[in-house]
Structure 1
Amino acid sequence: MALFIPTYFSPISQYSEITNAEELSFEMDDNFQKQSFRNRCYIFNTNGKQLLNIPVKHPISSGRKKTKDTLVENATPWQDQHFKSLKTAYRNSPFFEFYVDDMAPIFEKEYRYLQDVNIDTFLFVSEALQINTHFDKTIAYSTEIENNDFRHLAEVKSQPKKLVDKYIQMFDDKHGFIPNLSILDLLFMEGPNAISFLEE
């Protein structure tokens, strides 16, 4: 069983492991970490690497909180901002128009919990990549998983051991190739062929 933390339009490294996993489980009992892929992703725009960050509500107490209990801060129009950023960055990419209508509901639905956003992005990407979307959720935090523990891929500072082959990016002529962006970058550039970059 391969274990992952649900993240926001996950980085390519995470989908590289998800695609090759026979069984998939999502960690539901981890503690929320700031500046992680739990509530952020990176895309490629004309200026280079761009951060898309979901604002979350921080508890008044300084104690730890679980990711599954983390609330989205909807006081700012983050969904409109993210969708506009994606349109600006990728509207001229080969496959953006092919996927945009299926992706749009994620930016229209009102979310309370961050975890629900992340699961919805996973379901969208899984369908787009045509990979097996079946997964289960943990009921307790496990410390005993070894070989198939990919929870570290949710951390921005945790670099993957393997990177996918280079592919053409929208602005690589200007900024060079940027590895391990959000899976959306690969999807909008390669479309159905994206899966071939992820499979071993």
Structure 2
Amino acid sequence: MSVVLTELHYLPSITYFQQLLSAETLLLDAHEHYHKQTYRNRTLILTAQGPQALTVPVLDGARSEKIRTSEIEIDYRQNWMHRHFRTLQTAYGASPYFGYYADYLQDIYTRKPGRLWDLNLAFLHLLLRCLRWPLPIELTTEYRAPGTTPTLLDRRDFLTPKNTPAGPAPDSPSHRPYPQVFGTAFVPGLSVLDLLFMQGPAAGQFL
């Protein structure tokens, strides 16, 4: 059985899902330590001004001591949920399928999950349903050091913002272009929401 081990992202990119195409099971690392400035709390969308990052503010993420990603709490002192949803609405309100998915997204935001892990997992389950992809998800029961489980395809930190500001990792699968809301040149490396809002139920065919 093909099992892909990776971390949990916020509104993951198209490339994140592409790396799972050969997987029979997705194994999420629930025991890793939190890494700052990664896609764990950040995603990229396309706006009229170009690619824009949406970042979930977290508590304790800057502490010197290590803390598990699954224990990182969200900072609700900022009204970031309203800002993120309004940004999505402004960027994609005119797209063919934004209205179809908007309520599902807003429902998760209004739940105000306490932990980043719970927020990201709720969005991942939603996105897989929207993509019509019944991919089983399991969580690690202990930390697995790189290279210690050869039966797994370890893709942890395969995608990071440091690769390119608005593009996939150098060795990631190439995107199949599709019409986007803004511009004429295709912009890769965006959240899979960009694809869903444009292609709707057909989005899975573009992975």
Pair 1:151–1:71, CA change in 2 (3 A): same
Query: What's the TM-score once normalised by structure 1's chain length?
Result: 0.92
| Aligned equivalent of 2:18, options 5, 12, 16 | 16
Identity of aligned residues (%): 30
Q: CA RMSD in A?
A: 1.6
Helix, strand or coil for the counterpart of 2:17?
A: helix
Gaps of 5+ in 1: none
Deviations 1:42-91 (A, max 9, x none): 00000001110000012685111110111100000010000000000000
Letter in 1 for 2:154: D
Q: Does 1:162 align with 2:173?
A: yes
Contact 1:55 1:72 in 2 (8 A): yes
Task: Give distance in 2, aligned partners of 1:52 and 1:59.
Answer: 16
Find the counterpart in structure 1 of residue 113 from structure 2. 111
Q: Does 1:190 align with 2:195?
A: no
| Aligned equivalent of 2:70, options 43, 68, 83 | 68
Pair 1:92–1:5, CA change in 2 (3 A): same
Helix, strand or coil for the counterpart of 2:5?
A: strand
| Aligned equivalent of 1:150, options 135, 152, 155 | 155
Contact 1:57 1:73 in 2 (8 A): yes
Query: What's the TM-score once normalised by structure 2's chain length?
Result: 0.89
Find the counterpart in structure 1 of residue 54 from structure 2. 52
Task: Give distance in 2, aligned partners of 1:67 and 1:164.
Answer: 29
Find the counterpart in structure 2 of residue 40 from structure 1. 42
Pair 1:148–1:61, CA change in 2 (3 A): closer
Contact 2:34 2:61 in 1 (8 A): no
Pair 1:190–1:61, CA change in 2 (3 A): closer
Find the counterpart in structure 1 of residue 166 from structure 2. none
Helix, strand or coil for the counterpart of 1:29?
A: coil
Letter in 1 for 2:11: F
Pair 1:95–1:65, CA change in 2 (3 A): same
Find the counterpart in structure 2 of residue 83 from structure 1. 85
Which of the pair is proportionally richer in helix? Answer: 1
Cα deviation for residue 154 of structure 1 reads 4.5
Find the counterpart in structure 2 of residue 97 from structure 1. 99
Letter in 1 for 2:188: P
Task: Give distance in 1, aligned partners of 2:119 and 2:158.
Answer: 18
